[in-house]
Structure 1
Amino acid sequence: MAEQGETCRILVMASGNGSNFQALIDGVASGSIPNSRITRLIVNRAKAYATTRAEQASIPWEYFNLISNGFLAKGEKDEAKMVEARKKYDAALADKILHLEERPELIVLAGWMWVFSSDFLRPLEAAGIKVINLHPALPGQFDGAHAIERAYEDLKAGRITHTGIMVHYVIQEVDRGDPILIQEIGWEGEELDALEAKIHAHEHELIVKATAKVAGEIVEGRKK
């Protein structure tokens, strides 16, 4: 096992159940993600079960939300105010991360339901912090929300014969950052629920492999 100074510090962000977060916890514990530590979890939904997983693994966590933390009034519909609030939230979240006692070197978005603006990404990039995301589609297909449902409709219609998943670097264009790892997943005529279950099963493995790859590159990069 590497000394603490030789480990990659990983911060995970999640919005819901946190099954991919659990896969990362297990991956670090088993050595599948070597020379790494998960230093913190951030959630943006108060009832995210990911927080329970963090507590069970003795990982510090915090809740940081657009409305609850005062960036946007509940029920606000004014487009300009919403855009401004999102920018302020993103900037504040980046600032929060940059001033953590244990500043991460890698941020893994594991089911994080929020699209970041440059107000979040630019300060982290300047600080050399990498941000990666798991997306249940292949590069260039079904960017954004409801990717599995949209793939399912195209599979049924015969427009595509397979779908897939990827872990990619996060840039401002949604799901358009350079892929780190890609996995194709075939369709055997199963219904949407079964397809979702199959995809999620592969996600856990891919997010662990991709995190291990990037964390390894970060640790190796220090030696150069």
Structure 2
Amino acid sequence: MAEQDERCRILVMASGNGSNFQALIDGVASGSIPNSRITRLVVNRAKAYATTRAEKAGIPWEYFNLISNGFLAKGEKDEAKTAEARKKYDAALADKILALEERPQLIVLAGWMWVFSAEFLRPLEEVGILVINLHPALPGQFDGAHAIERAYEDLKAGKITHTGIMVHYVIQEVDRGEPILTQEIGWDGEELDALEAKIHAHEHELIVKASAKVVGEILERGKK
């Protein structure tokens, strides 16, 4: 048990296929992310294939959703009610994580389609849990959703010559947290689908490298 206690506990959040989650699983298994283990997966979409990956790897997972878990009525259009429901969902998810027997030291958002509010981030920050996110754009470019599509349009228009990816710390301002690692990706005139595939191929490597970097810092901090 002593060896387990010394390894960094990672909780992963994903919304879809989970290919970046798989890269993290493989990174931990191979030692590319050393001295760590993935303790849990959380998904917010019922059909997320990431859960199948978790089961194959023997990692516990949980589905927690805004509507299915009763925070918001299906079809609700009122903006104020939606905003309040999102805050309650965020607070409940933070409470759920803080109550885990194996409380994580690091949360990695690996294709997590949801923007967190302070109701989620603040309680975790108070106990020193770090949250990092993979975003398919360079710092300060194409924040938020559809980043690859927006970059593609600017590449075609000649406004930019390359795009990129980053892993960054999560703060309230969307995709504005301090970058951990970045990587430029050139454009060779390929169509959107090919550009997406190229970007995703690089993402897997970057999320592993960035997670390893942060894990090292967490464990080093724990020795002091």
Shorter-chain TM-score range? over 0.9
Counterpart check, 1:101 vs 2:101: yes
- Correspondence for 1:200: 200
* Structure 1 residue 5: Cα displacement: 1.5
Q: How is 1:14-163 mapped onto 2 (pairs within 5 angstroms)?
A: 14-163=14-163
* Structure 1 residue 3: Cα displacement: 1.3
Counterpart check, 1:167 vs 2:205: no
Query: Quick one: distance in 1 between partners of 2:186 and 2:123?
Result: 39
Aligned Cα RMSD in Å?
0.7
Q: Give the structure-2-normalised TM-score.
A: 0.99
Query: Which residue identity does 2:57 align to in structure 1?
Result: A
Query: Which residue identity does 2:213 align to in structure 1?
Result: K
Gaps spanning 5+ residues in structure 1: where?
none
Percent identity between matched residues is: 90
Q: Deviations over 1:173-223 (max 9, x none)?
A: 000000000000000100000000000000000000000000111011111
Q: Deviations over 1:71-121 (max 9, x none)?
A: 000000011100000000000000000000100000000000000000000
- Correspondence for 2:218: 218
- Correspondence for 2:177: 177
Stretches (4+) displaced over 3 A? none
Query: Quick one: distance in 1 between partners of 2:42 and 2:50?
Result: 9
Query: Quick one: distance in 2 between partners of 1:137 and 1:37?
Result: 28
Q: Deviations over 1:141-163 (max 9, x none)?
A: 00000000000000000000000
Query: Quick one: distance in 2 between partners of 1:139 and 1:186?
Result: 16
Q: Deviations over 1:23-60 (max 9, x none)?
A: 00000000000000000000000000000000000000
Q: How is 1:3-14 mapped onto 2 (pairs within 5 angstroms)?
A: 3-14=3-14
Query: Quick one: distance in 1 between partners of 2:79 and 2:196?
Result: 33
Query: Quick one: distance in 2 between partners of 1:74 and 1:216?
Result: 42
Query: Which residue identity does 1:76 align to in structure 2?
Result: E
Query: Which residue identity does 2:72 align to in structure 1?
Result: L
Query: Which residue identity does 2:89 align to in structure 1?
Result: Y
Query: Quick one: distance in 1 between partners of 2:106 and 2:40?
Result: 11
Query: Which residue identity does 2:173 align to in structure 1?
Result: E
Query: Quick one: distance in 2 between partners of 1:34 and 1:68?
Result: 36
Query: Quick one: distance in 2 between partners of 1:121 and 1:220?
Result: 23
Q: How many residues align?
A: 223
Query: Quick one: distance in 1 between partners of 2:3 and 2:33?
Result: 15
Query: Quick one: distance in 2 between partners of 1:184 and 1:40?
Result: 31
Q: Give the structure-1-normalised TM-score.
A: 0.99
1:183 match: secondary structure: strand
Query: Which residue identity does 1:36 align to in structure 2?
Result: S
